[in-house]
Structure 1
Amino acid sequence: MHTLNLGLVGNCSISALIDPLGEVVWSCFPRFDGDPIFCSLLSHDGDAVASRQQGFYRIELVDCVRSEQHYLENTAVLVTRLFDTHGGAIEITDFCPRFLQFGRLFRPMMLVRMVKPLAGSPRIRIRIRPVWDYGATDSERTYGSHHIRYIGPNLVVRLTTNAPITAVAEELPFFLNDRIVLLLGPDESLQDDLRETANRFYHNTVEYWRDWVRHLAIPFEWQEAVIRAAIALKLNEFEDTGAIIAAMTTSIPEAPNTVRNWDYRYCWLRDAYFVLNTLNRLGQTTTLEHYLGYLLSVTANAHHHELQPVYGIDGRADLTERTFDTLSGYRGMGPVRVGNQAFVQRQNDVYGAAILAVAHAFFDKRLRRRGDVALFEQLEPLGERAVALYDQPDAGLWELRNHQRVHTFSAIMCWAACNRLAHIATHLGRTERAAYWHHHADTIKSVILRRGWNEPKQAFTAAFEGESLDASLLLIAELGFLPADDPRFVATVAAIERELRRGDFIFRYTEADDFGTPQTAFLVCTFWYINALTAMGRKEEARAHFERILALRNPLGLLSEDADTETGELWGNFVQTYSMAGIVQCAIRLSKHWDQAICESCP
């Protein structure tokens, strides 16, 4: 049975998810939103792919009895060790090359797997069976002396290896006496020695990631958790365009048998803001610079400056949703969806998300391209949309599909859009524009305080003149709408504790939606709650809570979108940027300062 005990490798062009036995269970080619040529994660007994035994990439140790798995420290290189009943053992090293070459980043469409014997006389079997069209079509194959070409309708990938080609092609067991390399990538001949090439790719990739980590401004405490989260966030950037995807997968259900199965391999402007905010806190600014180009491109193409909540990683607007019955889904829990119909929704908070993401560019002196008057003028039409829409119904950030309300969070994000434009204008010396945007921010704020606050309930509610609560309102203080000691914010947190808390978890809401009553907790809401506790001065309580939530991570330090509140089992798409960003944000806020911690550690 599949679980989300998976490792992520990637290079900001492609990625792969690998299970504890070294099977590649999910990998899309030629990019994140492409065809999952390895898709056994969404295959189950009886579906088309499973019945044909296709859609996976396995390096099997004959008579394997146990496995170990870890990341090479401070890298995106995954190491899997398998042990057999006879004292034999092997080590699989997986990575996607990423390093500087000829003055630019080398990040090819390539997965490298290196296998070496560790003990005894291990026998292995290599089984590579890519599929196409979401499991509908098997690969055709052609062979060379040291390669196999896997041919699909629109793409050909080539395996170059020093393993016996006959053994790989016919999936025959063989003794592993020496290190072998399996390089799966573009249909191009490898001109240099395979082993030397793999060694160079490996050492350069390891050095790249360790150098990247060395430049992170990490907190003293929870360093390993923060570093792993930061690497995972970076891997969710499609660097060619600057887009940031929400997760690597599609259709991992939020909860068992709920059909809450969505495709997250696209760029939500809201999610991207949270990722950028997190990486900026760590001192990693290049992702913002890449994203700025992506955002300006999609806004330039927006009709009358109306932004969608989500776009393709190439900036395309049409993400029409389809289902594929060739894959039965995670543990057989379909449907498997491709595309995301949220692209047609009105989510008014998106204008705030776009402006908040770009606002850093006006104040961060580390950036190569800093914000100027021209950029400010490109943002102002988005502010005008925020002014026009802040009190209009929308689907909200939780993307309700069949009804709309005037969501308080959406209104607050529209206020944030105007507020940040006012600060940017002041910074640029545009006094009249600063006054203009301050006026709109003040107007919106007064409406929110009047219509979003429920006096009998003593809380801000999910919608204007509403009764129900929404965990997104835990962000009121972080967004600067009210200070953390404001009685209305403190009371809202207390109300959320009473109504949305289940054990250690905070639900995003508990009322029934288009698909029934939520069954699992959306993890980022609990991180927002921990941050709110910290801001209100309840730091020791927040620290204890944070430690308990950290324990939910899989053995490799990764989180999905949701968790079962009783068992802690992970559900939802994986690796989820919201959740990984939550780890970093909480650790930064809760950690002791370096000098304090070092002094306390001395006898």
Structure 2
Amino acid sequence: MTETTIAEHGIIGDLQTAALVTTDGSIDWFCCPRFDSPSVFGALLDDERGGRFRIRPAGEHTTSQMYHPDTAVLITRFSGPDGIGEVVDFMPPCGPAATTEHRIARLVRCVRGRMTFDVLVAPRFDYGRRPHQATLVRSGAVFNARGTSLVLHAVREPGDEHLADARVEEGDVHLRLTLTARQVRGLVLETDAAAPPREIRVAEFTELFDTTVDWWRAWLARSTYRGRWREVVARSAITLKLLTYAPTGGLVAAPTLGLPERIGGERNWDYRYTWVRDASFSVSALLALGFTEEAARFGSWLGDRIREGRAGSGGPLAVLYRVDGATDLQEESLAHWSGYRGSSPVRIGNDAAGQLQLDIYGEALDSVYAADRAGFELPHQGWTALRAALDWLAEHWDQAEEGIWETRGGRRSFTYGRLMSWVAFDRGIRLAAAHGRPAPVEDWAWQRDTIYGQILGRGWHRTRNAFVQHYTGEELDAALLRMPRTGFLPAHDPLWLSTLDAIRAELVTDSLVYRYDPAASPDGLSGDEGTFSLCSFTYVDALARAGRLEEARTAFEKMLTYANHVGLYAEEIAPTGEQLGNFPQAFTHLALIDAAVTLDAALG
């Protein structure tokens, strides 16, 4: 059973994949060569069969963790009776070309006194389904698993024999490092290495560290954010960058799979893919911080998906894709894994890819519109593809769907899906007018106005005095907190303010916000879930737009207390304050940035 909680992790990455590092020095999640590839270390989901790469003191110790300032370099500090030591973890950033070669660099340092570290390298290839062999050599070790390999390089000085006591037990490598004050050693784990293990000198390793630090600081220096919450916004920006697949610009929802929304429940999904919705939201957040290159890269990714189209009734866009744009996402369960704290099934793949979610067209068009306003050019081919998508939407928006929350209890006429369909036509009309592009603008305007009237007529519930989740019920939905942000209604409109009051009364507990009430609005899944941190930050945004600044600032500051020790958020927060769901979640960090920017502007 997993002992380390979800929140007790930091993340490192190289812009093509990522690893999670526990506060006790264990890498217990790592997939390669991409975010959506099979895992090599997966103890996060099965302590016995998942595999890990652990470096920690041999005796009693306390631990703390931090990021090297303004970087994605993670420092885990250990204090024991005889000394203080550190493990510094990082992955040198990859270039824009897809590669199977990735490096996890682990610098081990004694700061004061003397400290002995125990090292365990225990990979479990293909989610623990593929056996492997381990071979020790003087300069390190090699792990082979039917064509897939890992190479472990030793970082040491000439004459150093710190691998002399290394041993292999059942395919795992064990060794011990004893260091005195100011001594530095380390290990570099390389995937699909072209060369055998080699000795890496400390000076070379230090240079690699410095280069990585400089890269992250140069990237973050491009941020134009000068608001009140620079540190937390910077950490969220770095996290979003870590979750971006550099070769395509696609943003994964999270680097993990199977982390439960309820301990022991079945709401355990694979989030290592690019959702059109999440990535579209990233455009406005990144542009607000001045990261125009990242926004442009996603725009290119989205344009490729729209131009490709797809067959079937689901529309020209899929809900989600692999990082390279593929759609082979068939869902299956890893029956041999116990799951995080016994939460099963552990799923890989995601059947939500085949759902109908109409809101994605509004989110996609809104991101294109935001990029256009920022000065990005929309080529003719891109406009032709967008026009085709809107023409499809004109024929299909008025039907039941699965909705933004990817429910599995049957299709409904979700108000949020209609709202974002309104956004799609509105933004298409604006783009056509701004650039004189050919389009059936009169038809789009008719569709837009028809949706507007339908939402006011059927999405508004007179008894609840609020906009509701879908046309055939009276349940509330926190997705509608985005309504004033879209421009559908002014932020001070009485209809919207009464909806905000209803959501606050029913879905908000202190600063925390539930997506909806599963008991009142069955979603086809058993059990309940925690509060949804995306919605909690969107609530802050909505309060700020409505002029309720004291409430907004208090709610925002309270939400910041739910971050983990290095400023990261999972998908949800349990009633106990525990973080739940996949981690770290891009959606949450996007919403944090949006809330911070909106609240800064409102406070003046």
In the superposition, the TM-score normalised over structure 2's length comes to 0.92
The change in CA–CA distance for 1:84 and 1:191 in structure 2 (over 3 A counts) is closer
Q: 1:167 aligns with which of 148, 165, 168?
A: 165
Quote how far apart the aligned CAs of 1:121 are.
1.9
Partner Cα separation in structure 1 for residue 363 and residue 80 of structure 2: 51
Partner Cα separation in structure 2 for residue 439 and residue 196 of structure 1: 67
**Counterpart of 1:114?**
107
**Counterpart of 2:171?**
none
Quote how far apart the aligned CAs of 1:382 are.
1.2
**Counterpart of 2:325?**
315
Q: Contact 1:64/1:82 (CA < 8 Å) preserved in 2?
A: no
Quote how far apart the aligned CAs of 1:67 are.
1.1
* Deviates further, 147-156 or 270-279: 147-156
- AA aligned to 1:78 is L
**Counterpart of 2:391?**
384
Percent identity of the aligned residues?
Answer: 32
- AA aligned to 1:96 is M
- AA aligned to 2:73 is V
Mapped pair 1:481 → 2:491: no
Quote how far apart the aligned CAs of 1:154 are.
4.4
Partner Cα separation in structure 2 for residue 173 and residue 64 of structure 1: 15
Mapped pair 1:2 → 2:4: yes
**Counterpart of 1:495?**
502
Task: Write the mapping of 1:484-523 to structure 2, written as runs, cut at 5 A.
Answer: 484-510=491-517, 511=520, 512-523=522-533
Mapped pair 1:184 → 2:189: yes
Partner Cα separation in structure 1 for residue 579 and residue 556 of structure 2: 17
Can you list the C-alpha shifts for 1:16-38, whole angstroms capped at 9, x where unaligned?
10011111011111111112111
RMSD of aligned residue pairs (Cα, Å): 2.2
Partner Cα separation in structure 2 for residue 105 and residue 514 of structure 1: 38
Quote how far apart the aligned CAs of 1:108 are.
5.3
Q: Contact 2:268/2:345 (CA < 8 Å) preserved in 1?
A: yes
Task: Write the mapping of 1:401-550 to structure 2, written as runs, cut at 5 A.
Answer: 401-430=408-437, 433-510=440-517, 511=520, 512-550=522-560
Mapped pair 1:26 → 2:29: yes
Mapped pair 1:576 → 2:585: yes
Q: Contact 2:153/2:199 (CA < 8 Å) preserved in 1?
A: no
**Counterpart of 1:352?**
362
Partner Cα separation in structure 2 for residue 105 and residue 94 of structure 1: 22
Partner Cα separation in structure 1 for residue 33 and residue 481 of structure 2: 39
Q: Contact 1:38/1:130 (CA < 8 Å) preserved in 2?
A: yes
Quote how far apart the aligned CAs of 1:432 are.
5.9
- AA aligned to 2:194 is E
Q: Contact 1:32/1:265 (CA < 8 Å) preserved in 2?
A: yes
**Counterpart of 1:69?**
65
Q: Contact 1:127/1:168 (CA < 8 Å) preserved in 2?
A: no
In the superposition, the TM-score normalised over structure 1's length comes to 0.92
3-state secondary structure, aligned to 2:62:
strand
**Counterpart of 1:600?**
none
Q: 1:267 aligns with which of 245, 267, 274?
A: 274
Partner Cα separation in structure 2 for residue 279 and residue 213 of structure 1: 12
Q: Contact 1:243/1:294 (CA < 8 Å) preserved in 2?
A: yes
Partner Cα separation in structure 1 for residue 266 and residue 499 of structure 2: 31
Q: Contact 2:540/2:555 (CA < 8 Å) preserved in 1?
A: yes
Structure 1 residues without counterparts, runs of 5 or longer: 597-603
Q: 2:54 aligns with which of 54, 58, 68?
A: 58
Partner Cα separation in structure 2 for residue 551 and residue 247 of structure 1: 21
Task: Write the mapping of 1:152-301 to structure 2, written as runs, cut at 5 A.
Answer: 152-162=145-155, 164-170=162-168, 171-177=174-180, 178-186=183-191, 187-189=193-195, 193-301=200-308
Quote how far apart the aligned CAs of 1:256 are.
1.3
Q: 1:97 aligns with which of 92, 96, 99?
A: 92
Partner Cα separation in structure 2 for residue 361 and residue 108 of structure 1: 33
Q: Contact 1:267/1:311 (CA < 8 Å) preserved in 2?
A: yes
Aligned length, in residue pairs = 581
Partner Cα separation in structure 1 for residue 97 and residue 346 of structure 2: 37
**Counterpart of 1:88?**
83
Mapped pair 1:149 → 2:150: no
The change in CA–CA distance for 1:265 and 1:432 in structure 2 (over 3 A counts) is closer
**Counterpart of 1:302?**
309
Quote how far apart the aligned CAs of 1:398 are.
0.6
* Deviates further, 200-209 or 337-346: 200-209
Structure 2 residues without counterparts, runs of 5 or longer: 157-161, 169-173
Partner Cα separation in structure 2 for residue 302 and residue 168 of structure 1: 54
**Counterpart of 1:601?**
none
Quote how far apart the aligned CAs of 1:109 are.
1.3
**Counterpart of 2:40?**
37
3-state secondary structure, aligned to 2:153:
strand
Partner Cα separation in structure 1 for residue 393 and residue 500 of structure 2: 26
